[in-house]
Structures are given as structure tokens and as C-alpha cells.
Structure 1
Amino acid sequence: MLLAEVTKGFANQKSGILNVLFQHSEPETNPSISIEALQALKTVTQSHPSIMVLCWEKISSLTYEYLSSSADNQTRSWRGNAPGLPGEKVITAAIKVLDQCLRAASGFKGTEDIFGDKSLDNPFTSDYVKIKTISSAPAYEMHTNVPSKDEAEPLLGSERWLELIDRHLPLMLDHSSAMVRATAVTCFAGITSSVLFSLSKAKQEFILYSSISSALTDDAPSVRSAACRAIGVITCFPQIFDSVEVFEKFIYAAEHNSRDTSASVRITASWALANICDALYHHVNLNGFDPHSSDSEGSSKWVSLLIDSSLQLAKDNDKIKANAVRALGNLSRFVPFKNNSSAYDSAGKCTGPLTCSSVKGFNKSDDPIGSPSPSKNQLEESHWLEKMVQTFLSCVSTGNVKVQWNVCHALSNLFLNEMLNLQDMDWAPSVFSILLLLLCNSTNFKIRIQAAAALAVPATISEYGRSFMDVLQGVEHVIENLRSDQISMPSNLKYRVALEKQLTSTMLHVLSLSSQIHDHGVHEFLGKKSSFLEEWLKGLCFSLRAPNDLLDAEYSSNRDKKKEMICLAIKSLVEVFEAHDLNALALRYQKLCSSI
């Protein structure tokens, strides 16, 4: 129905849903009615993006008419923060419709280059691991009849963005109303990497530097917050690392706003900082470090700034604390902790391969605003690791559910740092205890899933240290009693299977290491729990049985990997029982392994 209406055109129509909405959105209409009509159009654009893309000319002209007819659209002499008047409210409503239509044309899906959680990536959990998303726009899919969607969306999106930049944005960004400016800057958070980098260099810089300028120079908190949101989205584009200057300014803008007096600004600034740290890790992981680079001080000062800023933000409210913990977790994944947590010796010289060849040069940019210059004392900081761990442990007791989830995820990242000798850390038992506490006692299944995932990260028995027995007993206890657990929150129901799968993966991993430890209590515990473990393992083996001709190649490969994990765990148990003359148990488990 809507498609037929759009196809016929609006010129000669007096009826139809869209036609009525556009008629009541005209500037001549009472502002209150126009606002309601525009809000309805926004909803239609969200639910039917492929149809509303065809209405771009109508929406673009309508928005431009509002902007150009505004008595306050010239160079502003003030930046209003007062409650919105009807005029600016209707302009804002029109821009929001334009923004949604623009996102539809660009193929924006609510996420851009955000990476999967590798700590959950294993045969038993791969079917439920989801990609993290940026919650800055509705997620939707374009459905059109064009031959190549991948090629058409950037082309269509580029055309729309060029019109926006040349026609609308100069009026929006220079408007005296903070509400209008904030809504304009929000448009930047809806661009996709394919569209942004299909534009000319000048247009790219207009978008990037408008975001930075709004974040650093605008008087209105709402505008600075919107700019930080845009920075947080765009920083996830891999191409951003092609310009050290832009990435440097993104860091500075986000860090600067993380100290803002407005909590709403600090929330989005901390979110942007966490995304910056995430993007930095994945860039470093993809490109590797350059240990022979002579320019280590430039990049180290920014890492120092990010760590110090995140540590400070972790003392703020829960929304900010959650972002700060996520940032610290991303940093802890790749910061080369040496000499008991520092990558720097007493002279402040980098002793670890911190500088990536394509990230170096941070200290060379000529920032007209003024780049921060961490003091030499910051570069000589020798307690990053201890401070991070203290922050994680503190946030578990003081933070809400989201903070606790991020702590578990951050600890997974910390454990994955290849330069960290976990077995040598005095705080390791406390960390394992906290993860076990969350796994056993948390009422939130998402937290329990992430805690179980973190407990499975250490790859060797030595990394668990003296906590191995506690981990083994704790995970087994949860699995044995999971069926009898009372689900206190309905929201946990959809995560129950995911929790079972993660616990299965963690338990198999821990069991596969059990033969490598010479703790007298291990074989006693495993012997005591042998009946339960045998039945549990039989259930896993039975779940893998299916005719090969009914399996596709991907599922078959995943099944083989599951079998391998189960066999490793069973063989480890056999070794434990044989080493302690529990031959009857060893024989039963050998038969079980042979039956797979």
C-alpha cells in the first residue's frame, strides 16, 4: 500500500497515509500538528526504510524549507540552551526524519565493524555468540530490487550525504538552537564506513572535523554529547587509522569530554573512549607491533592517557563505570605489562613492543586546540596492572549488573594478554574467587555466562595456579545443580541454554587439564563425582549423534571439534584415575571414549 502510494507520486494525490502526513508536516501547518506528523513519518521510516528512501526528495525539500525559513538560521550570535520553542522543535523533528531516511539510504544497521567476543568462541558456544552492536540507531535491512546491494547502498548513501553536506548541514550546524545542532550532529552517528570513505577527502574531513569541533567547542551539553556519540561510532571504522591526526583528535575530544560537568556528556564520552580502546586493540592485533620503531613515546603517551582517564571514570556513576571498565578491559588485552605491570623502566623508556608501525607518530601532530601531554611521571607509572585489577574487583562490589558483566569480560581480556604471567600475580586467587562468586551466586545469567567464559581462558594448568581446584569444584557444582536452580527473572529464560553451553565448554577445558596437576585432592574429588561426570559426558556424546548425510559441512566440522574436546577431557580423567590406581573408573571412561 505504501509502495503503491509512493510510486504514484504525491503531486496529484489528496489521500493516502504518506500524503496526509506530508501535508500536515508543511511549515504552514500549526507547529504542534506538524511535530506529530513528522514523528509519525519518522516511525514509518524506521519500519519501512526501503519505501521511505524513495521519498528522499520530499523529505529533503521539507527539511530545507524549515531551515531556510527559520528567522534564526544565520550565523548565530548565541547558543541557546533554553527549553525548545515550537519553531526549533518542529525543525528538530524534520531533521530526525531526514536522519532516518539518510541511514536507510546508507545501509546503516545499528552496528559498524564491531567485533565478536573471542573469549566465547569455541565449538559449544559458537552457535549463540552474537556480535556486539552500537545502540545508536535502529537495526534494519534494506530490501530493494537493485542488482547489487553492496554497490548500490554506498552510491545512494553518498549522493544523499553530498546533498546533506552542501544543502542542509551548514544551516543546521550554525543554528542558534542547541536542540537543532545536537540533532544535526547525531546524523554523523548514522553514517557507514563504506559511505564515508566513498566521499571526497574534503567531504570526509568536513564530517570528521565537524564532529571534533562540536565535541570541543560547543557550549551546549546536548551537542557535545551527540558529537561524542558520533566519534564513538566513526572510531570503529578501520580506515580511521589511515589518519593518525584524526584518531589523535578523537582520543583528545573523548577524553576532554569525559571530564565534563554534565553526566550526560560523560556517559557518551566514556562510551566513545571504550570504543576507541576496542578499535585500537583490534587494529594492533591485525597489524602487529613494530618493536624496532624509534617512536614509542608518541603512542605510549596516548595509551597512558586512555588508562588514566578510564581509571578515573571507573569512580563515576554506573553508566560511566561500565564504559570505563570496558575501556580498561580492551586496553589490558594488548598493553605489554612488564616488570610487574609496567612497560616502562625507571627512565621512562619503553621496554616492550608497544608501538605499532601504523599507529606511531601521535606526538607529531600539530593540534590547533592543544594536545594533552602526559607528564613524565605518567609515562613512568609502574602500577597500571595493579590499578586495573583493583578497579575491576572494586567495581564488582559497587557496580550494577552491566558493570559486573563488563568486569567479567575485562578479566577475560586481561587473561588473554600474552605478556601477562598470571601464575606470578599475587592478585590472581582473588580474581578467580570473584569470578567463581559471580558464577555461583549471580541471579543474572548473562553475568554467569561471561564469568564461566573468563574461567576458561587460562590455557595451562600453571596459569590457574593454586586456584585450579577451586575452579574445578565451582564449575562442577554449578553444572550439577543448574537444573534445580530457580530462575528468579523471566529475562534469564532465553539465556539458560547459552549458560549450559558455556559451562559445558568451561568444564571440558578444566577437565582436560586435570591430569597435569599433582594435587591429592583432585583425584579424590573426581573419584567422588565420577558417577555424575560419567552420566554428564554420556549426555554430551549422545547429543552429537546424527546421521552424517543429514549434516552440512559446517555443522559436521563443528561436531568433530566438540568430539575432540570431549575426548580430551575423558582421556585426562582416565590418566588421573590410572595414576591413582582407580582402574575400574579408568576402564569405564576408556569405554566411554571409545564409544564416541
Structure 2
Amino acid sequence: MGGWHDAPRAPPSRARREERRSFAARAGGAPWRVAIAPVKDAARSSSSGDALRTAVRSFLDDSSGLGPPPDGDATPAEISADVLLLARAVNRPDVGGAGEASTSGRGALDALVGDLLAAQRLHLDREFVATLAEYYLGALTTDDADEEDPRATQNSLKTLAQLLQEGGAHLAAREVDALISALLAKVSYKKTGGGGGGGGEAESRSARNGARDTARHAFNALGALVSRASPGSVSPRAHAAVGEAIVASLDAETRGVLSSPAGAPSTLGRDRPQEDAGSARLFAAATRCAHVCAGAPGGGGEARLTWPDEVVGALVTHLRRFFAYGLSSGSAPGGGGGDEVPTSPGRGGYVPPHLRSGGGGGVAADRGYGSSDSDASDAEGARGSNGGFGDRFGASKVRTNAALCVSALARADSRSMHAHWPKLLPTSVTQLLARSPTATIVRCALNDPSPRVRAAAMAATANLLEGPATKRYLAAAEVRTNPKTGAVVRANFASLSSTLGDIACATHEALTRAVRAEPALSCVPAACKALGAFHDAAPFARLPRDMIPKSMEAVMRRLNELPPGPEGSAQDPEVGAARVSLLAALTAVLAAKGAPAEVTGSLSPARSSGTTGASPSLASSVLPALVRYAAGGEGHGAATRCEAFGALRAAAAAHPAAVAAMLDDDDSFGFRSILPAMTFAASGTDDGADGAARVAQASAKLLADFLAAVGGGVGGGGAGADDDPSHQQHREKAREDGFFSLPPDELASLWDDVASSQFPAMTLHPSPLVRAAGLSAYAGLTSDALAGTSRVNRQTLVDAPRATLANERAPAVRAAACRAIGALAALTTNESSGAALRDALEPSVDLLLRAMRDSAKSVRLPASWAVANVCNTAARRSSIVSAGALAKIAESCVAAATQEGDKVRANAARALGYLVSAADFSSEPSSAWLPGVIQALMSCLTTGNAKVQWNACHAMAALFRNPSTAAGDSAWSPLVVRMLLMLMRDTRNFKIRMHAAATLATLGERSEFGNAYPDVVSIVTAALESLETMETETGHSGHSQGPGDGESALADLRYKPQLGAQLAATLLRVLAMGTAEDAGSVRDTLLKKRDVIRGAVDAATAALESFPRVGLDGAFPEDPFGTSRGDATGTRGEGHDDVAVRGAGSSGPERTSSLDMSTLARALSPGKGGGEDDEDGEDDEDREAGERRADLMAAAAGLARMYGALGEDGEALASHYRGL
């Protein structure tokens, strides 16, 4: 490759930009086509390359001083093609065969390309970007590094970074890898030593600065390449190499700096980053590269590339050093040493620079309202006339990028950052002091003089605390206190839980300080976001009781200090943003889980407790203040009002008693004025403004959440929620634990008001979102409330959803109407309201079935859920829906179970289970749709997600329990049994296996197993035996499938005792049906697994002795939809006797392989199951206990028959079981 070797002058540089020369300087010159014409003519001629080199040089010379020619008639695509021609000409070998282009030509081309990219005059496509990338790849890859011109290389790197920033997505993976390798070579350099003197030292310093500048521009290009490359273009190996290069560069810069600057903490002296302009620019580039490269998108954009733990750990160590970079108090900003940092004139304590008053009189006299975080505030060496602390050599950029890098690492993989929390977050309140020797991201957020740095540090803190993985990790945090004195109890050994507790307390203290005292309004949103993330993740039940009151106090004090008036005013545009963020933080505080009970009392406007640590006046004023913000009385905009409504919704869900206290007759707190009827009347509904609709929707949602909260959590909207048994069981347990509920007369009066005034306003609103939000209030309707309303209002409540579903056009409203009908169907009504409900459900069936075929999936899903609730009601009260309607439902559910998505299929399977549990298939109407139901349920057993399969298991159990199905004489029964065995053998989901085993236990006759009986005995026994090793296998398989699968598999382990109990009960039920003729087919299992079988019998005997009269109400496996009144895992936690299911040679019980004895006792006799309402008294419990013991005796008798038929091999075992 050749060029102009005799060029006498230096290559063009970016000096023109710094002199602020405008591109308009060439506006009067020749247009692009005219200026480039000589170059094109020379390229087309067949003469030597001298003419082309001369033409190119002339064109670039003209462009280097005055800027590129104006476009004229040239298009961006034409200019891009001409630039490629220039690049090929510069790279063209000369006659002498020189191996490289001239420095002057490259520099001029770099300047031209940079100017055109900045002016957006180029058409960036695959060909253009790839060709220029190859050109720069050749320019950066030289054989002789000693002859390389550092300035030319830096210009090429700057232009390449510009190109990659705009068009990096056009590069292929091969080109990306090649560029990364070339750029890493420019980053990897050895730090030059400082030995020698005179000219040698000057040359060494110059070489070191040149290498730093080259590395800095290479980092910029690397960041642009990795962040802009298309997903999957950056290989994991190349991405890891980038992280290693960043760490290596930071190591090289910090290694050997053994002395601390004057005034710096002594613990930071070792490997402290050098503080000068050149180092600061390199550190800023390196940390910015790390920020944009962390978590680069992987293949398909579905996963993020993450760095190895070693890279993350080394990088975090360097980032921690940068949190105080450039803030040493011994040297003045800008290099001067004569100015002393002002101290507090009051008590002599240290005050951070951004909290010092300008005139020296007092601390933080001015909050800084209206201050601007502009570039001038972080200018190099800036020092205001008031003696404020400025930015030394751009060091604030290093601190900002370090904080942003922490944010990026946390977003990419929050779990990898957990091990570094003690480095990044404080473990003691003393570490929050400005002169603390421990540098943390939180201390930086509190004490840094730059608002930009403080905001970035707060954002990093928020990202560290966000995410489900972080919530699970922080759940282990605990601070133990003395119950009498309240003092923290310390142990000699600092466990993980105590360390996390210390981190939580210190971080909470820092966040409340930041919210309360942050002087720059531009930083308040970041501080509020961090405080909200903390309250979403922290386990307050294990932390000091005063944390939530302190948070409320900090937020309320800051809200009260904000200037009054509407947000967005010309006086201060940042006030509104700060107010909205503070209300969002208050929402998170009010919604925090684990809040002590006295917080609700302190929030009540009527009274407040002074034992919570917060000011009673402040705590009791929280809810009235939110009502005022929601009402918009001071001219607050829609954003503020909606956030206030959101905070009230959070308070209604977590502290319903406090919100209900504002519902007085004279409306002294104004709560009724923010309900939909008065809100719509005040704002009007004819302006069509988006803000008014948002406020109206927020008001309707507040009413819906408030009704659900004050109803005691027993509304019909929670029935079968999401088809997940755990949801319904949690709801039932919460009801037992004592949910707040208004007295029945007050609740009925409230619903009378809703039916007479609130519902008409919501259903007639022009916004479909408001109408949908209004219908969601049915989720809180209870049976007592419906029965207590007047006849007219009761009829309004029952008829409104059906009328809406029949006439509504918006899919969101139709979906809400379906949910409302489903909530009504789930209610247990009395005679006064039962007639109205019966009259409403029958005509609603056709509307729901039509909705199940709706074009919108958002409508089909709630429609199927509502149909399942209707079937549940029909199963319990056969007169509420006619036989013809049930036949229509069966036909629609069969179609949905075989053709729809998994969520709809789960609801359809649930509905079919309720139908077959109550139908009489001996009659003609029902027998006609039985085959279709069986085929649909068999399809759900073999395909679909977990919810589809366990709902199908429950439906099959109902099918086997129904004697009119004649399962023993059918051909489908053995097929279903084998499908259930496949689920027990192959699936990894413990709950599916548990429901499959429970379904097998419902078979009542030996003929129902058919020829599958030997397989049932073998597989159930093997499953029970392998349960010991299931935990290890589950963890390994989860690791191999991915992090998400591993977490779900480990979460399933909590069902291990219940699964073992159900497997044992199922095995005994199956063995009880064995006959002497079966002995030959099950011989191997009976003899080889005799220890497992005997262990199951012994465990069942112990279970019946420990729980002789346990009721069926809490049977976990029998009731996957939570229709019973108990919780097998939670209501009897005080008395579990757990024994291991082990062979006769086992050494003793082990907790990891134990059975839940109460579950085993219940599972021994499945009973009727389903959705029937059993009212068991003392006699019923005695009868059930007798049935369970009879089942155990039947199992022993079956074992005695089969072992006896085996001859001498089984005679001893037969004698043992005969003795039982």
C-alpha cells in the first residue's frame, strides 16, 4: 500500500473543531460532485497512480482546512460511495511498492470521515461500514510498532469510534472479532517507568502520555463496537477478553503508586489511582467502556453476556477506588495548593462541599432549588467565587462512570454482585461519614460534591437492590434485638444474615438521609428510586421496627419542604419531578411487606402511636396529605395525582384499617371526594385529555383495591386465581390469620353506595380503561356484602357485568366483565341473594362461551376462568345452571382444552373437572359429551405446562370418583393410568408428580388399573425409593438447563415431604387392591423393594397414631384449587412428627428425606374430594379416622395375599403383614 511519503506537513487534526469553525465555511464553494469530479476522472483513467494520488491529495487538502464541500445535488449514498473511493485511493500501493499509506493521507481522510459522520451526511449500510472497518483494521494493524505514528493512530481510533457508534450494527461477527482483537492490542501496553533524569525522563513521560491517549481512544472504540454490535455478533470469548483488558489496564496504571496524596485515608495508599489529567482521562474512558460493555446482548437478544467472576471481582475493586477519585483535600482543585477547604463554622465537624453555604454562615442554608446540573458545574478546575469545591482535571467523570459501571454490572447479573455487597454498600453507619476510610457507593451518593456523581451513585444503589434474585438474597438479612431494651444483639461470629442485616440498616440510613437532605432537586428522583427499591426487597419482619416509620418521616418532611404550587412552572421545572418521585417512594414504603402492626395504628388519621419512632403528627398526616394530592386542590398535574392515588392503593392493600378510618359520614378527610363519582364530576369527562383519563382510571383502581382490602380477602375474585393452588391456599391462610374487614353493615352500606353512585359513573365513562377498572371492583365483592345490599342495588350489581359483556366493544372492558361474572359465580350465596345470582348466571353462560371464542386472547383467558367458576358453582348447586347449559359448556371447554394456549387450557381442564364431578353419565345428555371430555383431558395430561397438567390430574381424579363413568369396564382407564405413570416417572416438577400420585390413589377397584397394575406398583415404589436422591438430581438438572430452571427446581424442593407422603399413601392404596393372581407380575417389586414397602407401612402406622383425627379439609394433594379451608403446610407447623421413608436397615430418621405426617394421614383416605361442602363434626372425624385405619389394614391384607402367593420367598413377609 502506498501514499505520499514526501508530504512535508503534519496530518490534519481536529483543531478546526476546537476553533469552532462551522461547516458553513464551504457553503459558497464548489458542490460535492464538482469537487470530487477530478478524483473520479483520475480513477477511471488507465494512467499511473500519480494522477489519482494528486487528485486525492488536492481534494483532501481543500477539505482539511475548510471542511467538506456542500452536498449540492449529491445524495448521502453517493457521498458514501465517493468516500469509499477515497479510502481505496489512500490505501492504493504506489509504484515503488511501499507497504503502507502516508500518514498525511490517512489523517486527512480521518478528518473528512469524522466531519461527514458528525454532519450525518453519509448513508450507512452494510457495504460502507464493512469497507471502512476493514480500512481502519489495516491502519491499526502494523507490522512494526516502532514506526507507528501515535498521533495518526489516535486520529484513526477517534474516527473509528465515531463510525462504530453510528453503524456498528452492520458488522458481521467475524469483522467484530477482528476489530476487537486489533483494539485490544492498542489497549494492552506496559506502563513506562519513571527512572532516569533530564531528557530521558521527559521522553518517558511523553511516551507514557502517548500510550495513555492511544489506550483511551481504543477504549472509546471498544465501547462503541461492543455496545452497538448486533445481538450475537460479540462472542463470549471476545467479550471476556474486553473485560480482562480493562482490568489489566487499570492494574497497570495503579501498580506501583505506593504513597497516598496528602489528606487521603491511609488504607487507600496501596495501589491508589494516580490523580492527574492524563490518568483521569484514561480512567474515564476505561470505566465508560466497562459501563457500556457490561451485559452486552447475546445471541438473539434473549440473554446477556456477562464477565467471569474473576473479572467482575477485580473490576469492582478498581471501581471502589474511583468513588473518591480527585477528592483529596490536601491539594486544591486545579493543581493549586494554597486554598484550604472550608469547614463548618459551627461545631467544627466536617461538612461535605456540596452542603456548605456560600457565605460561610451556617450549613446547608440553601437547598439549591432551581440549581442546574450543567456541564459548567463539572468543568475542569472550576472553582466558584464563593470558594466552593470544583472538579479537578475532570475527575468527576471518573467517579460518574464508575457508578454507572456498577449499575451496568448489577443489571447484567445481579447475583454476581452479591458477593461484593460488603465492598459497595456500607456495613456500619460510621462508613457514611465523608472522611470514612471505607469507600462505598452509598458514601459517594451522600458526600460527593458533583450532583451528577451523586445521581449516578444513587442509581447504582437502586440497581444493586433490584431484581428477584436480590430479593431472595436479601431475605436472609436479620438484625436481632433484645425484646426488652431494643438493643441490637451481637454474636461472636458474623453470619451472612447478620452481615446482610448490618448492610440493610446502614443503607437504609443513607437513603433516608439522601431523600431528606439532598440539596439538588435533580438528584432527588434517583434517591427516591433507590429508597423504593430497598423497601421492595428488604425483609422488614427481620429488621428493626422503626425503619418504615423513619422512611415515611423522611419522605414526608421532604414533601412538606418542596415549594408549593403546580409542577412544571417556570419558577422551577424540577419541583414536579421531585414531588412525583417522592410520592413513588412513599408508595413503596407503604407497600413494604413485614411492616409492624403499630405502623397501621400510626397511619390512622384519628389516632397515632408514639412508639414507632416517627413523629405522630407526621405519621397521622400521611394519608390526609395523599388525599389532598390526589384531589389536585393545589393545581397539581396528572402525574402527581396518579402517584398519590398509587400510594393510597398501596396503603389500602397493606394498611386497610388506616384507610378505612377516613371513611367517615361527614367526609372530614375528603376521602369520598376522590372516589370516582366526585372525581369525574370535578374533572369532567368531555375534554378528552389524556391526563383526566389517567386520573379517572387511578381513582377507579383505588376504589377497586379498597373494596378488596376491606372485604377481608374473601371476595370471589380470588377464586382459582391463575389456576395456582398456592395462590388460593395463601388467600385462605391469610383469612385464617385475620384479615381486616369492615363490619357487615358498614360493608353492605359501602357497596350500596358503590352500586348507586360509583358504578354508574364508571360504566358511563368514555375511557375504556376507566370502565375496565371499575368492573375490577367485583374482585372484592363478598357474599355478606351482596346479601346486605338493597334489592335494587343487588340487582344492579348482578346485572351490570352481563350487560357490559353483551354491548361492549373494547376488549379490555369485555375481559373485565368476564372477570366480574366469574367473581359473582364464585360467591357462596344465601337465599336472599341466591335467586338473583341464579337468574344472572344462566343467561351469562352463552355470553361467556361466546367470549371464549373472542378474537382477543385477553378476553378468552378471563372468559375461561369465569366458565370454570360457573362450573364449580354448578357442581356444588346443581339447580343454578341447567343441563343444556352444562352440555354447551362441556363442548366449548373440550375445544378450548385442545386448541387454545396453555393458560386457557388450564382453565378449561379445571372446568371439565368440576363438570365430571357432578354429572350423571348414566343418562343420555351427559353420556354424549363424556368421550370428548376424556380425550381432551388425556391431551392435557400429555402436553402443556405445569398448570395444565395438574388441573388435568385433578379432573381425572374427579372422573374416577364418579361411579357413573364405569371406569372399571372402560378402555380409557388403563390408558389414563399409564399417562399418570409417565408424569410420575418423567416430569421434574414435584407438584405435578404429587397430583398424579393423588389421582392414582382415587381408583377404587382393581379392574380400573387393567393390565397396568404391575407398572403402577413398580413405578410408585421406585419413585418413593428415589426420593432421597431427587434433591441432588433436581439441582444438577436445573444447572444444566439454565439459571431459571435451576431456581424453579430448587423451589420445588419444599414440596418434597408432601410428595413423599402422597407417594406412600398411593402405594398403600394400590397394594390394598392386589390379589393373589397379581403376585407373579409384581414379584420382582415385592421382593427387591420389600424394605421400601415396609417403610411406607410403618410410616403410615406412625402417621395415624400421631394424627388420629386429622380432617380432610387441609389435604394438599386432594385440593389443588384451594377450595378447602386449610393449608397442609402452614396450619399445623407446630406439631409435625417427621420420620424417614427408609429401608429396614436404615440408621434413623433424616429431615431431608422426611414425610409430612399430617399430609400422609390425610392422604391415606382421599374421600370424596372435589368441591363439595362437607361439614364434619365429632362423629365425622371419628368415622374418617376409622376409614383411614381400615385403609391401612386393607393394604396389609393385600400385601399378605400377594406375599403368600409367592411361596417360600414371601411367607415370612406374609406372616408379618397378617399380624397387622
Q: Structure 2 length normalisation: TM-score?
A: 0.39
2:1194 maps to 568
CA RMSD of aligned residues (A): 3.5
> Are 1:436 and 2:1019 an aligned pair?
no
Among 871, 894, 903, the residue aligned to 1:277? 871
8 Å Cα contact 1:512-1:568 kept in structure 2:
yes
> Are 1:66 and 2:679 an aligned pair?
yes
1:301 maps to 884
- The change in CA–CA distance for 1:140 and 1:103 in structure 2 (over 3 A counts) is farther
1:159-170 superposed matches below 5 A: 159-170=749-760
Structure 2 distance, partners of 1:205, 1:429, is 49
Q: Tell me which amino acid in the other structure corresponds to 2:913.
A: G
1:311-330 superposed matches below 5 A: 311-314=894-897, 315-330=899-914
> Are 1:406 and 2:990 an aligned pair?
no
SS in structure 1 of the partner of residue 1207 of structure 2: coil
Structure 1 distance, partners of 2:1054, 2:715, is 22
Q: Tell me which amino acid in the other structure corresponds to 1:277.
A: C
8 Å Cα contact 1:188-1:211 kept in structure 2:
no
Structure 1 distance, partners of 2:943, 2:1076, is 37
- The change in CA–CA distance for 1:134 and 1:337 in structure 2 (over 3 A counts) is farther
> Are 1:206 and 2:822 an aligned pair?
no
The alpha-carbon deviation at position 108 of structure 1 amounts to 3.2
8 Å Cα contact 1:109-1:141 kept in structure 2:
no
The alpha-carbon deviation at position 72 of structure 1 amounts to 1.4
For residues 323-353 of structure 1, give each alpha carbon's deviation from its aligned partner in whole angstroms, at most 9, with x where no partner exists: 1111122212232224xxxx42xxxxx5xxx
8 Å Cα contact 2:997-2:1066 kept in structure 1:
yes
For residues 370-402 of structure 1, give each alpha carbon's deviation from its aligned partner in whole angstroms, at most 9, with x where no partner exists: xxxxxxxxxxxx752222222122233431221
8 Å Cα contact 2:749-2:789 kept in structure 1:
no
For residues 88-139 of structure 1, give each alpha carbon's deviation from its aligned partner in whole angstroms, at most 9, with x where no partner exists: 1112112222222223333333558969xxxxxxxxxxxxx97946989x97
- With 385-394 and 518-527 compared, the bigger mean Cα shift is at 518-527
- The change in CA–CA distance for 1:181 and 1:416 in structure 2 (over 3 A counts) is same
8 Å Cα contact 1:108-1:191 kept in structure 2:
no
8 Å Cα contact 2:717-2:778 kept in structure 1:
no
1:527 maps to 1087
> Are 1:510 and 2:1070 an aligned pair?
yes
- With 487-496 and 532-541 compared, the bigger mean Cα shift is at 532-541
2:1000 maps to 455
The alpha-carbon deviation at position 539 of structure 1 amounts to 4.3
- The change in CA–CA distance for 1:541 and 1:142 in structure 2 (over 3 A counts) is closer
Larger of the two Rg values belongs to structure: 2
Structure 2 distance, partners of 1:130, 1:505, is 22
Structure 2 distance, partners of 1:100, 1:40, is 12
Structure 2 distance, partners of 1:230, 1:254, is 11
The alpha-carbon deviation at position 544 of structure 1 amounts to 5.7
8 Å Cα contact 1:110-1:139 kept in structure 2:
no
Q: Tell me which amino acid in the other structure corresponds to 1:71.
A: G
- With 451-460 and 234-243 compared, the bigger mean Cα shift is at 234-243
2:844 maps to 250
The alpha-carbon deviation at position 424 of structure 1 amounts to 2.1
For residues 490-513 of structure 1, give each alpha carbon's deviation from its aligned partner in whole angstroms, at most 9, with x where no partner exists: 121111111111111111101111
The alpha-carbon deviation at position 423 of structure 1 amounts to 2.2
Among 685, 698, 703, the residue aligned to 1:98? 703
- The change in CA–CA distance for 1:335 and 1:241 in structure 2 (over 3 A counts) is farther
1:183 maps to 773
> Are 1:420 and 2:1004 an aligned pair?
no
The alpha-carbon deviation at position 20 of structure 1 amounts to 2.8
- The change in CA–CA distance for 1:573 and 1:586 in structure 2 (over 3 A counts) is farther
1:144-159 superposed matches below 5 A: 153-159=743-749
- The change in CA–CA distance for 1:233 and 1:141 in structure 2 (over 3 A counts) is farther
The alpha-carbon deviation at position 60 of structure 1 amounts to 2.1
1:1-150 superposed matches below 5 A: 1-8=599-606, 16-27=621-632, 28-56=635-663, 57=667, 58-63=670-675, 64-72=677-685, 85-109=690-714, 132=728
Structure 1 distance, partners of 2:1107, 2:936, is 51
Q: Tell me which amino acid in the other structure corresponds to 1:55.
A: M
Among 934, 939, 954, the residue aligned to 1:389? 934
The alpha-carbon deviation at position 232 of structure 1 amounts to 0.6
Q: Tell me which amino acid in the other structure corresponds to 2:1019.
A: G
8 Å Cα contact 2:950-2:995 kept in structure 1:
yes
Aligned residues: 514
Structure 2 distance, partners of 1:274, 1:230, is 13
- The change in CA–CA distance for 1:325 and 1:13 in structure 2 (over 3 A counts) is same
- The change in CA–CA distance for 1:592 and 1:131 in structure 2 (over 3 A counts) is farther
- The change in CA–CA distance for 1:321 and 1:282 in structure 2 (over 3 A counts) is same
SS in structure 1 of the partner of residue 1192 of structure 2: helix
SS in structure 2 of the partner of residue 232 of structure 1: helix
For residues 216-263 of structure 1, give each alpha carbon's deviation from its aligned partner in whole angstroms, at most 9, with x where no partner exists: 111111111111111111112243753543121221221121121110
2:1098 maps to 538
8 Å Cα contact 1:158-1:196 kept in structure 2:
yes
Q: Tell me which amino acid in the other structure corresponds to 1:242.
A: A
The alpha-carbon deviation at position 468 of structure 1 amounts to 1.7
- With 423-432 and 154-163 compared, the bigger mean Cα shift is at 423-432
Structure 1 distance, partners of 2:751, 2:716, is 19
The alpha-carbon deviation at position 192 of structure 1 amounts to 0.3
- The change in CA–CA distance for 1:227 and 1:568 in structure 2 (over 3 A counts) is same
1:577 maps to 1203
Q: Structure 1 length normalisation: TM-score?
A: 0.78
SS in structure 2 of the partner of residue 24 of structure 1: helix
8 Å Cα contact 1:72-1:176 kept in structure 2:
yes
> Are 1:260 and 2:260 an aligned pair?
no
Q: List gaps (5 residues or longer) in structure 1.
A: 75-79, 116-128, 289-297, 345-349, 355-381
8 Å Cα contact 1:328-1:388 kept in structure 2:
yes
The alpha-carbon deviation at position 436 of structure 1 amounts to 0.4
2:1023 maps to 478
2:811 maps to 221
Structure 2 distance, partners of 1:88, 1:435, is 51
8 Å Cα contact 1:114-1:133 kept in structure 2:
no
Q: State the identity as a percent.
A: 26
Structure 1 distance, partners of 2:892, 2:731, is 23
- With 479-488 and 218-227 compared, the bigger mean Cα shift is at 479-488
8 Å Cα contact 1:60-1:98 kept in structure 2:
no
8 Å Cα contact 2:649-2:702 kept in structure 1:
yes
Structure 2 distance, partners of 1:495, 1:398, is 23
Structure 1 distance, partners of 2:798, 2:627, is 32
- The change in CA–CA distance for 1:588 and 1:390 in structure 2 (over 3 A counts) is closer
- The change in CA–CA distance for 1:237 and 1:592 in structure 2 (over 3 A counts) is same
Structure 2 distance, partners of 1:73, 1:171, is 13
Structure 2 distance, partners of 1:565, 1:480, is 22
For residues 57-85 of structure 1, give each alpha carbon's deviation from its aligned partner in whole angstroms, at most 9, with x where no partner exists: 433222243111232179xxxxx9xxx92
8 Å Cα contact 2:716-2:779 kept in structure 1:
no
1:230 maps to 820
The alpha-carbon deviation at position 47 of structure 1 amounts to 0.7
8 Å Cα contact 1:435-1:451 kept in structure 2:
yes
- The change in CA–CA distance for 1:403 and 1:547 in structure 2 (over 3 A counts) is closer
- The change in CA–CA distance for 1:415 and 1:494 in structure 2 (over 3 A counts) is same
SS in structure 1 of the partner of residue 789 of structure 2: coil
- Highest relative contact order (Cα 8 Å, sep 6+), 1 or 2? 1
The alpha-carbon deviation at position 473 of structure 1 amounts to 1.4
- With 177-186 and 396-405 compared, the bigger mean Cα shift is at 396-405
